[in-house]
């Protein structure tokens, strides 16, 4: 049993010291500290790490952090939704998003051509610029080949970008596949449809990509899942681990609750009932805003991995892996 201890502030307190203290505070702080330790364990155990996140997290300032984690070799597989990939491309080409308010007059925003994601604001103009860009990208893809698996197409788009803070760019550079099973669920999908009307032999193959994520790990691999938010990105990752024997490590972070019966709210214990997470696995479920909880848990984990000299070796391994492909 761990005793409750009072939190004390000290000048220049590090994030890692704060998160260490969470073990003794109680409630969700305990789960957050545990989540960080599970992430450290999955990396030290050389597990294949599936990092999943929803598009709203790319809308926020977490986008560059995800790109940095890919560069550091934390994630081996990315699963996400298409909105985040659209916005990653927008930001890579200079579009700015603004901080607004949850209480903004949405009718007034609509009249001004501004879209709201929580308290974040995106101009219609940014989407118009994206649509002009994606037409040119699709033409380049079509000239190269006619039939693409989704992850292969996303890698090719990443190679077209030049932004160290881009998820697509870092994933392509470090040979980390990005899977997006609902590729048509956004502006990108609409333009894929339009392009295919003029080019009927152009095919983006979601089913083939399901095979690619299944072969991203094997039954013998140790597997870890870091699922930020819910929806199809979370389920696609843990379904692929189920078909390969289940994950040894799992960290879920979400604002959804298990009482809804939804995939978004399903916790790591519920995943054990399906075999998606192994019975004896190390797990943690943190209920709270991921824009707050994930940086705390992840920075604590990065500090520990760096102190153990593991981050540099992880990076070198990725460079070697890229050189051998």
Catalytic residues: 276
Interatomic CA distance for residues 288 and 251, integer angstroms: 13
Which residues, other chains included, contact 143 with Cβ-Cβ below 8 Å and sequence gap of 6+? none
Residue 91, both tokens: 């930001």
Residue 190 backbone phi and psi in degrees, to 5: -60, -40
Pure H helices in 145-230: 150-160, 167-173, 187-198, 206-214
CB 256 within 8 A of CB 230: yes
Q: Degrees (nearest 5) of the Cα angle 96, 99, 101?
A: 145
Half-sphere exposure of 253 (CA within 13 A, CB side): 27
SS3 18: helix
Which residues, other chains included, contact 220 with Cβ-Cβ below 8 Å and sequence gap of 6+? 245
Residue with tokens 């986008």: 63
Interatomic CA distance for residues 69 and 266, integer angstroms: 25
Among 182, 180, 188, residue whose Cα is nearest residue 151: 180
Residue 111 backbone phi and psi in degrees, to 5: -65, -30
Among 274, 265, 275, residue whose Cα is nearest residue 234: 265
Give the Å distances, CA to CA, from 300 to 35, 165, 181, 306: 10, 21, 31, 10
């Amino acid at each position: 049993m761990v005793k409750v201890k009072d939190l004390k502030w000290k000048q220049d307190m590090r994030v890692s010291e704060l998160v260490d203290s969470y073990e003794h505070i109680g409630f969700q702080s305990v789960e957050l500290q545990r989540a960080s330790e599970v992430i450290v364990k999955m990396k030290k155990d050389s597990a294949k790490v599936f990092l999943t996140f929803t598009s709203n997290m790319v809308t926020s300032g977490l986008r560059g952090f995800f790109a940095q984690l890919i560069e550091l070799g934390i994630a081996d597989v990315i699963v996400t939704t298409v909105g985040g990939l659209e916005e990653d491309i927008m930001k890579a080409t200079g579009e700015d998003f603004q901080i607004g308010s949850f209480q903004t007059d949405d009718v007034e925003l609509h009249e001004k051509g501004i879209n709201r994601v929580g308290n974040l604001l995106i101009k219609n103009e940014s989407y118009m610029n994206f649509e002009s860009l994606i037409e040119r990208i699709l033409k380049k893809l079509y000239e190269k080949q006619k039939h693409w698996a989704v992850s292969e197409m996303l890698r090719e788009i990443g190679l077209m970008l030049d932004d160290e803070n881009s998820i697509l760019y870092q994933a392509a550079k470090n040979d980390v596949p990005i899977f997006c099973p609902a590729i048509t669920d956004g502006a990108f999908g609409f333009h894929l449809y339009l392009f295919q009307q003029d080019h009927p032999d152009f095919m983006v193959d979601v089913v083939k990509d399901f095979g690619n994520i299944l072969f991203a790990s094997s039954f013998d691999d140790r597997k870890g899942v870091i699922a930020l938010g819910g929806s199809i990105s979370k389920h696609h990752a843990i379904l692929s681990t189920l078909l390969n024997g289940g994950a040894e490590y799992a960290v879920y972070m979400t604002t959804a609750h298990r009482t809804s019966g939804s995939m978004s709210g399903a916790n790591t214990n519920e995943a054990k009932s399906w075999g998606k997470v192994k019975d004896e696995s190390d797990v943690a479920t943190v209920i709270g805003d991921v824009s707050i909880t994930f940086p705390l848990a992840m920075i604590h984990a990065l500090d520990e991995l760096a102190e153990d000299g593991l981050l540099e070796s992880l990076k070198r391994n990725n460079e070697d892996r890229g050189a051998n492909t």
